[in-house]
A and B are shown apart, each in its own frame.
Chain A
Amino acid sequence: MFTHYSLKKLFGALGMLLLATLPMLAFGDEAAAPAPTPDKGDTSWMLVSTALVLMMSVPALALFYGGMVRSKNALSVLMQVFVVFSLITVLWCVYGYSLAFTEGGAWFGGFDRLFLKGTFDAATGAFSMGATFSKATPITELVFVAFQATFAAITGALILGAFVERVKFSAVLIFMVLWFTFAYIPIAHMVWFWMGPDAYTAANVVDAMNAKAGMLWQWGALDFAGGTVVHINAGVAGLVGAYLVGKRIGFGKEHMAPHNLTLTMIGASLLWVGWFGFNAGSALEANNSAALAFMNTFLATACAVLSWTFGEWIFKSKPSMLGAASGAVAGLVAITPAAGNVGIPGAFVIGTAAGLVCLWGVNQLKRWLKADDSLDVFGVHAVGGILGALLTGVFNSPDLGGPGFYNNWFEMKQGFGGIGAQVLIQAKAVGVTIVWSAVVAAVAYKIADWTVGLRVTPDEEREGLDTASHGESAYRL
């Protein structure tokens, strides 16, 4: 009796097992084939791109910003960029990556990858795989984690330019933890999280898989490398910071000219180089899309250098080095959402427009806003980001030389819904980013203000943050 029962149970279990394997067998060859392994070319390119984006923050952004402040605050800016970059990198590996890039809701991801758990199985030596934009073309998930870590970290560092020379170091750290958690992570999830091309296994799962993606991705917003996630996000947080931290003592009266534009030029140039990793790396593969993004990044930046320079020459007074360097950054920012999403005509127009519009952003618009956004984080990054995001909707059109986009990831068919419709989607994504970032930033600054205070004392500000906050000075001449 006992044996009979056991056998029955055993057969029952075997039957269940057979049933469970049936769907797999139904896929036939595909299921039997070994899982695809990462392409070594893709892996190499993504590792190099990751290092390039690291270089964009330290030293490039640090030097770009550091040269523009007065010599008594030079080290404080380098220090803020260095430490904020490191802080966010650590937070990224603790919870940031998991909340941004795992399946969850429309706004936040889940907790599956806390402390990057599950990316590497020590027992079997197996690494988990991440998706790219091609079917059966994975990359090692840790490569994607590292690449995206540099994006999160540079975004925080970008904000610093709005309130340098008077902000308290401890307040910066508190603000960054809060803003990164409640603004960067959700915007990154909303714009960039999706299930990956391999999840679209059949025509009838397309809607279900789309529904698991981030909210702005579902709307169809195009953001190749971070126009919304990085630049508008940071630019808006910077402007709110400039208002809440307040103007520098003597702003508009005292001499606050950049102390070393040589450093600024080196920084801008290294940003240009590093941005190839940022934009072309966002293709996630070493392929045609990366090549397109690379060329667009190259060309748009050169256009923006020229348009800012000539704009300044014609409308202001002389063509300045700071203007050329600012034009480069404006062009890089504006081409970021467009990089692999537009063709060469788009790069010409977006780059040229960025130089002129951001020149307006740091002059007329800045005077209207009446904020001491010291290094023009809003005027360059938010303005350039918005311009780029909207024009991406225009020049993505195949009629204007753009590649269009996949509107069905099962059939991998290129499509384009019309310029007006796409620009409207882009505008909605920009609007969500502006409101979300501004609200989170305002609350985060207030919390930093209530806990440690946002500003150093007036005496410390006059003395300079290098000695007052960090006990060292940049130059002994």
Chain B
Amino acid sequence: MKLVTAIIKPFKLDDVRDALAEVGVQGVTVTEVKGFGRQKGHTELYRGAEYVVDFLPKVKIEVAIDAKQLDRVIEAITKAARTDKIGDGKIFVYDLEQVVRIRTGETGKDAL
């Protein structure tokens, strides 16, 4: 099993959700986050005062999947979240040791 974490532009969230549903992903966890990458921040000007905004708002999505789905999931996220402009985000993939469905106590792939 794999845990796929993707940092994407907030306005791409709906596209990514639809793409994931199409490849059979059952559930997604979404968090609003802030951060910076090569895009860096931007400056804001309030009357005479200039402030550098270092951390830009992004959305983090987390998906737990069967290892067999990994390529399709990565492709779905990449296609849906891409704008070809700097700041599109990143995908991180981790091995996932165990999953438990709290309601039934099922474990492993059955709990995905």
- Asked whether any CB of chain B lies closer than 8 Å to the CB of A320, the reply is yes
Which residues of A sit under 8 angstroms from B51, Cβ to Cβ? Answer: 255-257
CA gap between A255 and B43 in the complex, in Å: 11
Tell me if B38 is interfacial: C-beta within 8 Å of chain A: no
Cβ of B47 and Cβ of A317 under 8 Å apart?
no
A318 touches B45 (CB 8 A): yes
Interface size on B, residues (CB 8 A): 8
Q: Is the CB of B45 within 8 A of A256?
A: no
- Give the residues in chain B near A362, CB-CB below 8 Å: 47-48
List chain B residues, Cβ under 8 A from A316.
Answer: 45
Are B47 and A326 touching (Cβ within 8 A)? yes
Query: Interface 1/0s, chain A 228-259, versus B by CB < 8 A?
Result: 00000000000000000000000000011110
CB distance from A115 to the nearest CB of B (A): 43
Q: Which of A255, A320, A366 contacts B45 (CB 8 A)?
A: A320
B95 interfacial contact with A, CB 8 Å? no
Chain B interface mostly helix, strand, loop or mixed? Answer: strand
Verify A323–B47 contact, CB threshold 8 A. Answer: yes
Tell me which residues across on chain A come within 8 A of B53, comparing CB atoms. 255
A363 near B46 (CB under 8 angstroms)? Answer: no
Residues of A within 8 A of B47 (CB): 322-323, 326, 362-363, 376, 379
Q: B102: CB under 8 A from chain A?
A: no
Contact in complex: B48, A363 (CB < 8 Å): yes
Give per-residue flags for B35-48: 1 if the beta carbon is below 8 A from chain A beta carbons, else 0.
00000000011111
What's the interface size class on A, roughly? 10 to 19
Q: Check B44–A257 contact: CB distance below 8 A.
A: yes
Task: Please name the residue on chain A nearest to B43 by beta carbon.
Answer: A317
Any chain A CB within 8 A of the CB of B49? yes
- Bound CA span A256–B53, Å: 11
Q: Using Cβ atoms and an 8 Å threshold, which residues of chain B touch A326? A: 47
B41-98 interface (Cβ within 8 A of A): 44-49, 51, 53
Q: How far is A186 from B44 in the complex, measured between Cα atoms in Å?
A: 42
Given the complex, which residues of A lie within 8 Å of B46, measured CB to CB? 68, 257-258, 320, 322
B contacts, CB < 8 Å to A: 44-49, 51, 53
Give me the 5 closest cross-chain CB pairs, A-B, nearest first. Answer: A363-B48, A362-B47, A366-B48, A362-B48, A255-B51
A-B contact pairs, 5 of them (CB 8 A): A255-B51, A256-B49, A316-B45, A318-B45, A363-B48
